[in-house]
Chain A
Amino acid sequence: MTNSMQESAEKTRLGIPLFISANHEGGAWAKLQLYSTTGPGNMAIGATGDKEDAYQMGHIMGTELNAVGINVNFAPVYDVNCNPDNPIIGVRSFGESPDLVSMMGTSMTKGMQDAGIAACAKHFPGHGDTSIDSHTGLPIVPHNKSRLYSVELAPFQEAVDEGVDMIMTAHIIYPAFDDSGKPATLSRPILTDLLKNEMGFEGVVITDAMAMGAITKNYGSNEACVMAIQAGADIILDTINIEDRINAVKDAVRNGKISMERIDDAVSRILTLKQKLGLWDNRYVDPAKAEKIVGCAEHKEIERRVAGDSITLVKNEGIVPLRLDGNDLLVIEIIDIGGAINTLGENEGKLSKEVKDHNPNTQNIFVTQNTCDLEIKIARKLAKNAEVVIIGTQNFPAPAFHPGYEGQVKLINALLNDGNKVVVIGMRDPYDLRFFPDVNGYIATYTIRKESVSEAVNVLFGESEANGLLPVTIPDVIPYYYGYPDNRCMVKGRILDDLGKPIAGAAITMGNETSHMI
């Protein structure tokens, strides 16, 4: 498919090769999901504390995309997820520490770019501290400049300094940088004055999808495209009525609303990147070769290791590792009826299968994401026969994509009220622990990928150590250890064996720096 598109492009007058891109961030938010090696996703990589893991996953994703002819990846996410109610970023972020996000982000970027594709840092100037999803509404980040420089912008500055090829804009209002009420995507003070001039970005600025609610609900589509280019965007990500849009932009050039210099600046950034990627000489791919690269054993082995590094024992009241003496277990797993981005293929039912392999006396049921009362009733009945209930949760609140997770919370608290012992495997955002803080154990995998689930079950049965460290704060439950103890907010995390008490000697090394003890 990519070959035929490139062939079409080569036949045009100038034969300029195409950018062909994918939204392949890793973990659940990865578009070559089924067959490729996505790794466990960014928050899991943040939990490993190892920038080499970030580099290797970036390199693997870049190599596999390159093999199928995709030369731009809209990743990594450089958003600092410091808002537990963020409905759309969550595990797509490396964590809530700007230093951690910078370190992991630049390592992953380097991995992708070393593999020969362009990386794209997003969503500038930062989508981490929002509680509205820009797919549906227009969020505002009200912080002052000094906070924005030290938290949101810091990773993007690192990305620019390290030579990231592309940056994607956020449809978010930042009054501190532009008080006109325009979102960053349409803001000249943000895209041109701040990003290109002040921060020194020389690569390509691309908008987030212009079809997202934040734009369409507030601006006319043609108008928005013209505004974005005026603001400093070099590529518009839009598809509906392209001819109309392009005509609008050409009209804007003719009547002087967009200068020819602005167009030339954009195109020369685009062509420079295409040159840098060597697309004139390498636009075609060999499908037979691609088949050998995508999802190959060598990549899967690294993915498995990274997954193992990331598993985080967030809470443990003496229940992990399980000691069962042949008693029964009940496994409850969520089916994602939203479908497209979660419980797919080999990942589906993985938790039950793995647990059964370790303990044959295991019953299992599937429930829907927003678990209904009837499902809860059945689960409570089955739980009576089980010594421990293991629940894999899917906390992904984005209302644009998912039906909600309140039902899961109800289910878990109902089982706890009945006196069951409950261990939760958090297979998405780990923030859901705050809604059922009394569970006996909580293991975060940050993803439903089978490698991570399998490693989590190994931890559950004491076959391996939990190596990960929680890269975010869970408000009211896991206190400041992972937050901002001295305003450095590095992830000098601990594995807790009970709340408020770090395991002795759990100091970790991050990169070349040795962490401080709390």
Chain B
Amino acid sequence: MESKKMSKASAVLITTLVIGTTFVGCTTGKKTGNNPFSQMASDVFDDKAKSDKVGDGSSYKDPDPLIEERVEDLLSRMTLEEKVGQMWLITSFDFGATSHQVSHMVKNTISAQ
């Protein structure tokens, strides 16, 4: 009851890259051999991302190019997991957690990858 009460009035809401270890398996190439999934999706399930370590000189961090270009550049580097992770927002009250606990949880889920 308490958490329902507070869900709307959440103290702090956090969007995060919620990419836990659970999802890492799906990103590997294991399944691609007999992958029943569509061609469209398969290109984001490969390991391209892992070999594509992003350095400081990446164009999306560079202030010069237009935002649009930077976004497209970054988008092209992202796995499905990373993309879907961007689309989530977690709320501290839904966890019934203290701010310290939330901070800890965010740290864990993000750094798990």
14 A-B interface contacts by CB (under 8 A): A8-B107, A11-B110, A18-B106, A20-B15, A234-B87, A236-B88, A242-B18, A243-B20, A250-B80, A250-B81, A254-B38, A266-B87, A272-B67, A275-B60
On chain A, the residues within 8 Å of B23 by CB distance are 243, 246-247, 250
Contact B84 A8 (CB under 8 A): no
User: A263 contacts which chain B residues (CB < 8 A)?
Assistant: 80, 83-84, 87
* Contacting residue for A135 out of B8, B44, B100, CB 8 A: B8
Which residues of B lie under 8 Å from residue A504 when comparing CB positions?
Answer: none
A239 touches B90 (CB 8 A): yes
In the complex, the answer to whether B111 meets A20 with C-beta atoms within 8 Å is no
Asked if B16 and A5 sit within 8 Å, CB to CB, the answer is: yes
Q: Is the CB of B68 within 8 A of A238?
A: no
CB distance from A183 to the nearest CB of B (A): 15
Q: A23-B13, A254-B37 are in contact. Are A264 and B75 (CB under 8 A)?
A: yes
* Chain B: minimal CB distance from A367 (Å): 22
Given A8-B111, A20-B14, A267-B83: A247 and B9 interface contact (C-beta under 8 Å): no
CB of A15 within 8 Å of the partner chain:
yes
State how many residues of chain A have any CB contact under 8 Å with chain B: 66
> A255 and B9 in contact (CB under 8 A), knowing A11-B110, A18-B15, A271-B74?
no
Q: State the Cβ distance, B79 to closest chain A Cβ, in Å.
A: 9
CB-based contact B16/A31 at 8 Å: no
**Bound complex: CA of A251 vs CA of B65, how far in Å?**
35
Interface residues of B in 59-94 (CB under 8 A from A): 60-61, 63, 67-68, 70-72, 74-75, 77-78, 80-91, 94
Contact, CB under 8 Å: B9 / A340: yes
Of the listed stretches A100-108, A208-216, A448-456, A479-487, chain B binds: A208-216
User: Contact string, A254-265, partner B, CB cutoff 8 A, digits 1/0?
Assistant: 111001100110
Among B12, B67, B87, contact of A270 (Cβ-Cβ < 8 Å): B87
Q: Report B17-48 CB contacts with A as 1/0, cut-off 8 Å.
A: 11110110010000000000110110010000
A215-B69 Cα distance, complex, nearest whole Å: 37
**B16:A18 contact, CB within 8 angstroms:** yes
Contact among B14, B67, B94 with A276 in the assembled complex (CB-CB below 8 Å)? B67
A264 to B43, CA, bound (A): 14
List A contacts of B40 (CB < 8 A).
Answer: 256, 259-260
In the bound complex, how far is the Cα of B71 from the Cα of A400, in angstroms? 41
A512 vs B7: C-alpha distance when bound (angstroms): 40
- B interface list, Cβ under 8 A from A: 3-20, 22-23, 26, 37-38, 40-41, 44, 49, 53-54, 60-61, 63, 67-68, 70-72, 74-75, 77-78, 80-91, 94-95, 99-100, 102-103, 106-107, 110-111, 113
Q: How far, in whole Å, are A8 and B108 apart by their CA atoms in the complex?
A: 8
Tell me, yes or no, whether A16 is within 8 Å of chain B by CB.
yes
Residues of chain B contacted by A417 (CB below 8 angstroms) = none
Is there contact, CB below 8 Å, between B90 and A242? yes
Judge whether B9 and A31 touch: CB under 8 Å.
yes
Q: Do A239 and B113 touch (CB < 8 A)?
A: no
Flag if A31 contacts B68 (CB, 8 Å): no
CB of A19 within 8 A of chain B? yes
The answer on a CB contact under 8 Å between A14 and B8 is: no
Contacts of B38 in A (CB 8 A): 254-256
Q: Is the CB of A23 within 8 A of B106?
A: no
Is B18 touching A246 in the complex (CB atoms < 8 A)?
yes
Question: Nearest-CB distance from A76 to chain B (Å)?
Answer: 16
Check if A238 sits within 8 Å of B77, measured CB to CB: no
**Additional 17 contacts, C-beta under 8 A, given A246-B84, A263-B83:** A5-B103, A12-B113, A211-B3, A238-B94, A239-B95, A242-B90, A243-B20, A243-B23, A255-B37, A259-B40, A266-B83, A270-B86, A271-B70, A272-B68, A275-B60, A275-B71, A401-B9
